[in-house]
Chains A and B, each alone.
Chain A
Amino acid sequence: MPPVAAARPRLVVAGAWAAFAVLLGLFPVVFTNPTVTTIGVFTLVYMTAAVAWNSFAGYSGYVALGHAVFFGTGAYTMALVSTHWNFAAGYTMFALVPAGGVVAALMAIPFGLIALRTRRHTFVVITIAVFFVVQLLAFNLGFTQGSSGVQVPTPTWGATQYNNSFYYVTLGVLAFALAISAAIRRSRFGLQLLAIRDDEDRARGLGVKVQRVKLLSFMVSAVPVGMVGAIYAFFIGQIFPQFAFDPLFDVTVALMAFFGGLGTLSGPLLGALVLEPIQQYLTLQYSVGSVYLVIYGALFLLVILVMPRGIVPTLAERVAARRERTQAARLVGEDPGVPPVVDVGSPVGASR
């Protein structure tokens, strides 16, 4: 792509990111209703998780359905450490958020060593299996206090500030996750992940240490998920095995990434931003029945059938196709020996 043509879109993209950041920052200032800000916190939690999940699964092509293990690990780290060492229920509790991320990354080592030996379907299923083993451990090990769950100290700050503190801390973690995902995408490491996605064996033959790259990516993606898990435990005030290690979490996060556009930076963000408020709203609205399950499932099916590659790639394709058309004539005339470039749009991984 010629640099002149690229300059303008790049500026537009940067502007859009800045505007987005400002909007997210101002959200709790504009909307003060606790119900709304609670939805805001949950949305940020899922946005972070989706972005982090995508930085592994989207780039490497390994659809992992076990990241709830990291979420739960983060949640239990927060709950158990804070109760064991009698943390004062104030802002110091947030110091345990990075700890949640680190412990989650440590969990990712044995998990990854087992799961990443397998590929495709087997990998998907083994992540599910590991997830269930870990959930059962949470139910049955002594120090997790089993199904009675763990109480987390309740924050001391007032009701109006309550949600806002969580909101901004989560926003910070989201920025961290996005920075990681963006850095990976433009790094050599990210290129190796994308190569693994396209043809793992070939990548090995070109000197890529695939096992190391996959495991590292798996660990890195666990960190933000563990961090929001820790925030979640503190926010909710008590955790139970079935909620900290929730099978729905895995699929929801994957769904959000697919919905927005797998392997893109903004796709998972957008997917979570659209889906999580809908899910929260539907849950609140139809708390008795299971209408929300039906609506949610139907909505998702509809999107898959209309935009099978997710929102961001589909839109990016449309934009790129228009730009292509203006250049096509020039390209065809240039050299009859080489067929014209039939680019269907920017590569999946490159759209922002």
Chain B
Amino acid sequence: MGTSIVEAIIDGILTGGVYALMAAGLTLIFGVMDIINIAQGIFVVLGAYLSYALSVHAGIDPFLGLLITIPALFVIGLGVEWGFIRRLREGDRTAMSILVTYAVSIIIEGVLNMTFSVNYVQIHAWYVNRSVHILGFYLADIYLFGFAMAAVLLVALYALLYRTRFGASVRAALQDRTAARLVGIDVRRVSTVSFGIGVAVTAAGGMIFGATNAFNASSSYDLISRLLAIVILGGLGSMGGALLSAVFMLVLEDVVAVVWSPIWATAVFFAALVVVLSVRPAGFFGRQVARAQ
């Protein structure tokens, strides 16, 4: 029991890293644009399918394939932002963004169903079913690789946001769109690019997801609800919060699955969100909004 709990914690941390990456994209989009991207779930699945297709039909290793799938999803993200999101009116963009991105989501779902059928598939590579034995624990290679990749990309994202001029504009827009506009930042362009980046990270997350789970297009519903729970728990717009809550939630879920039952693990996942929010309505790291002004 003790060993399996430790193993569950380690697994939770490793998969949590991958979820953190996907959630970071979602929270970036939210923070900069004040919109919720419901399509984030289907983008993850799309990323998984792209990696799957590349490996099955072209024999390209999934990790190598990211060089193609990440730019591809980046471009798709730009397109969605340019085509639909930026056309929403300022007043009700939050509510409308949910519906627009949902519409985008079901269109992609339909296309994926037609292209790949609804049968479950999984990405295969030599390291997918291998595991290493470290300090008495069996760790799946794919988890380790996935975690490493997520860590690298998160560091890259951090560097982009905190070490570049573009990142400074993004952070300004994160703080206050109007103020950013007043100091001469092209908020529209920053928004488009942020949306692209936020979507692009799903390519990497999706590849790991597709290699660790059998999936089809409807897996997106499960994904988006988890990702939303993670970013809300971390505090919308907070990158660090998304990271921590992703790890926290996945560890919690894995541990519950071991000590109680896998059936209730997902319920605990959402129940944790409900409990935390009833104590701290803005999440772990969200700005606690003052009641007046």
A contacts B: CB pair < 8 Å: yes
- A residues near B (Cβ < 8 Å) are 63, 65, 114, 117-122, 124-126, 128-130, 132-133, 136-137, 139-140, 201, 247, 251, 254-255, 258, 262, 289-294, 296-298, 300-301, 304-305, 308
Minimum C-beta distance from B97 to chain A (A) = 10
Q: How large is the interface on B (under 10, 10 to 19, 20 to 34, 35 or more residues)?
A: 35 or more
Contact among B94, B114, B217, B274 with A120 in the assembled complex (CB-CB below 8 Å): B94
Q: Are A118 and B281 in contact (CB under 8 A)?
A: yes
Q: Are B263 and A293 in contact (CB under 8 A)?
A: no
Q: Are A126 and B267 in contact (CB under 8 A)?
A: no
Known: A126-B277, A129-B274. 5 other contacts (CB 8 A): A129-B232, A136-B263, A140-B267, A304-B100, A304-B103
Q: Are B232 and A126 in contact (CB under 8 A)?
A: yes
Q: Provided the pairs A63-B98, A125-B228 are in contact, do residues A117 and B110 lie with their beta carbons within 8 angstroms?
A: no
Q: Provided the pairs A114-B278, A121-B232, A126-B232 are in contact, do residues A247 and B221 lie with their beta carbons within 8 angstroms?
A: yes
Minimum C-beta distance from A308 to chain B (A) = 6
Minimum C-beta distance from B26 to chain A (A) = 11
Q: Which of A122, A137, A292, A304 has the most CB of B within 10 A?
A: A122
Q: Are B107 and A126 in contact (CB under 8 A)?
A: no
| Interface of chain B residues 237 through 293 with chain A (CB within 8 A) | 263-264, 266-267, 270-271, 273-274, 277-278, 281-283, 286, 291-292
Chain A residues, CB < 8 A from B96: 258, 304, 308
Chain B residues, CB < 8 A from A63: 95, 98
Q: Are B99 and A254 in contact (CB under 8 A)?
A: yes
Q: Provided the pairs A121-B30, A293-B110 are in contact, do residues A300 and B103 lie with their beta carbons within 8 angstroms?
A: yes
Chain B residues, CB < 8 A from A298: 103, 107
Chain A residues, CB < 8 A from B102: 251, 255
Chain A residues, CB < 8 A from B270: 129-130, 132-133, 136
Q: Taking CB as reference atom, which chain B residue is nearest A292?
A: B110
Q: Are B114 and A122 in contact (CB under 8 A)?
A: no
Chain A residues, CB < 8 A from B114: 289-291, 294
Q: Does B111 contact A (CB under 8 A)?
A: yes
Q: Provided the pairs A293-B106, A293-B109 are in contact, do residues A305 and B281 lie with their beta carbons within 8 angstroms?
A: no
Q: Does B104 contact A (CB under 8 A)?
A: yes
Minimum C-beta distance from B35 to chain A (A) = 9
Q: Provided the pairs A290-B113, A293-B107 are in contact, do residues A137 and B277 lie with their beta carbons within 8 angstroms?
A: no
